Chains A and B, each alone.
Chain A
């Protein structure tokens, strides 16, 4: 059983996935941030691999990615940083990123190495269903990695069921068709979440895009198994100061501790 499966078996509500950009704010802050997230109540760590042209991300994450690239972050450096992560990190860790840097590294080599360092799953927003089914999906599953598809309020039901059937770990529900970090009209979001959570899907559902504080986290948890926070945490980190202090304060606020 994968770490993600075990997690959702133990905990079906208020699962908190926190996104951070590898190599941000400093090249070597990746692991300290992960440790800090783990000790302060996060349940899943989503590690963003920085890319120069991140189409599905908003301004906050894009600028953190640019800074991480300026700091010297690459996939190779990241794997080096993660090579001993399983000595301290027991949470599920998923990598989020874009296809181009992975293709340059070598898709199969990337999956192998990811598994080797203890990565549990992948979120690749610009790997579409058609390409997944035409080869990439096989490589991912052969290497024992989960793959998490995104679904949106515009995804038709038959397609949504298909994306659910091919996803393992969880399903990433985008709260509206928007790049990360924009405010949402919540009643529409609630309707959408109600609709997809009553479909009897095989995967747990985490909702992302627009979740930023206790209020929004609590609101979506009425419907889903949990949520993903990205831009809000990166914004908190961008204010500078001690990583542990900042993470503790941020997660305590979100979780209402």
Chain B
């Protein structure tokens, strides 16, 4: 079929936003104008040198890029391979999310939009959106699941302090999925002046590609930094956690077409993949449509989307971006999972061995290291997507005196 991407180029979806059979734009007509405008404009705007200059300047002076690529010596010794940490936790606001919000907000301004809406799970994307809205003087409304508002209180406070309005999503599972529904509905209700900043590589085309491109700065820097440090710009493995998949998409992006680089995506297994309380989408999901794109979706046999579970709000999502669905199905990516318990153990372990308290989401990525059968010659880059301050409430419950 013509909609299929036949170029075997993992970076570029087809004109209609398909990666293999995943992607597309399954949206109601009420969103057509907005999405069609984005589809026709996003590449043009992103390739405009003055746009690039504006984004790059903010990434450098406001976000603090490039973020370091740090050799984790004690961890390397323990695992028996060379392990580098890409320090996205050192970005302003504490996670990689701001790479995308900076890009999208400048893009929204160029489209003449005056108001920004966003959904958020852990609150990192909400904080990143609120931050850049404050910087640019834009009105900001963030939709957040009622359950997530409870478990991510510090981020809710940060968003409010930054001048954003936080609207609780009270439907369904009251988490990221429902916050996304509410944000899309809000966009339908006032499409003309509003831009919707999706925080992950999900949603209708062009969002998955646009967000992946804004996050691709992560792997662009990794290549340059590895070259400087080791003389070889290609690692053997890149490891990242995956909810919707934005930090993974960014960390994988410039290695997608490098067959020698193993791409390891780590999903949240919750209480265990088969426990009934999990968010391991590729293991539990089937082909379906969620939030405007065709992908792998956790659902009943009747096509009702099920409520996922993860201790980390940022991975608590019943879908996965279409790029990742394609990486999974084509076997270009390796999809593993880590349970709540394993992620917690990793969070404590990394804190103690490297002096870095990672976000709960990020901790999942570390959990799979012992399962990769790494050799001493392997060079592994882990995307340390966010810092763990927001998860201290959870961590404190497990601190042993």
Contact = CB atoms under 8 A, between A and B. Distances in A.
Most buried by A among B32, B289, B291, B303: B303
Contacts of B343: none
Contacts of B189: 177-179, 182
B28 A52 contact: no
B27 A53 contact: no
A52 B304 CA distance: 5
B287 A150 contact: no
A56 B25 contact: no
A183 to B, nearest CB: 11
A150 B28 CA distance: 8
A151 B29 contact: yes
Given A131-B24, A179-B185, A100 B290 contact: yes
B141 to A, nearest CB: 16
Nearest to B31: A177
Interface stretch (B72-80, B147-155, B294-302, B351-359): B294-302
A62 B287 contact: no
A38 to B, nearest CB: 28
Given A126-B28, A128-B26, A102 B303 contact: yes
A55 B304 contact: no
B134 interface: no
B45 to A, nearest CB: 21
A99 B289 contact: yes
Contacts of B2: 134
Nearest to B171: A62
How many of chain A's residues touch chain B, expressed as a range?
A: 35 or more
Interface string B148-188: 00000000000000000000000110000100010011001
A149 B30 CA distance: 11
A66 B304 CA distance: 10
Given A53-B177, A101-B304, A128 B33 contact: no
Contacts of A56: 28, 30, 188
Nearest to B287: A103
A134 B304 contact: no
A134 B3 contact: yes
Contacts of A177: 30-31, 33, 188-189, 191
14 contacts: A51-B304, A52-B305, A53-B291, A75-B303, A76-B302, A98-B289, A99-B26, A102-B303, A103-B288, A103-B289, A104-B302, A135-B1, A150-B28, A150-B30
Interface of A: 51-53, 55-56, 58-59, 62-63, 66, 69, 74-76, 98-105, 125-128, 130-131, 134-135, 149-152, 154-156, 159, 163, 174, 177-179, 182
The 8 lowest CB-CB distance pairs between A and B, nearest first, are A101-B303, A104-B303, A125-B28, A56-B28, A150-B29, A177-B30, A52-B304, A74-B302
Given A103-B303, A126-B26, A126-B28, 14 more contacts: A53-B291, A55-B185, A55-B188, A99-B26, A103-B288, A125-B29, A128-B32, A134-B1, A134-B2, A150-B28, A150-B30, A159-B32, A177-B191, A178-B189
Interface of B: 1-3, 16, 24-33, 171-172, 177, 181, 184-185, 188-189, 191-192, 286-292, 297, 299, 301-305
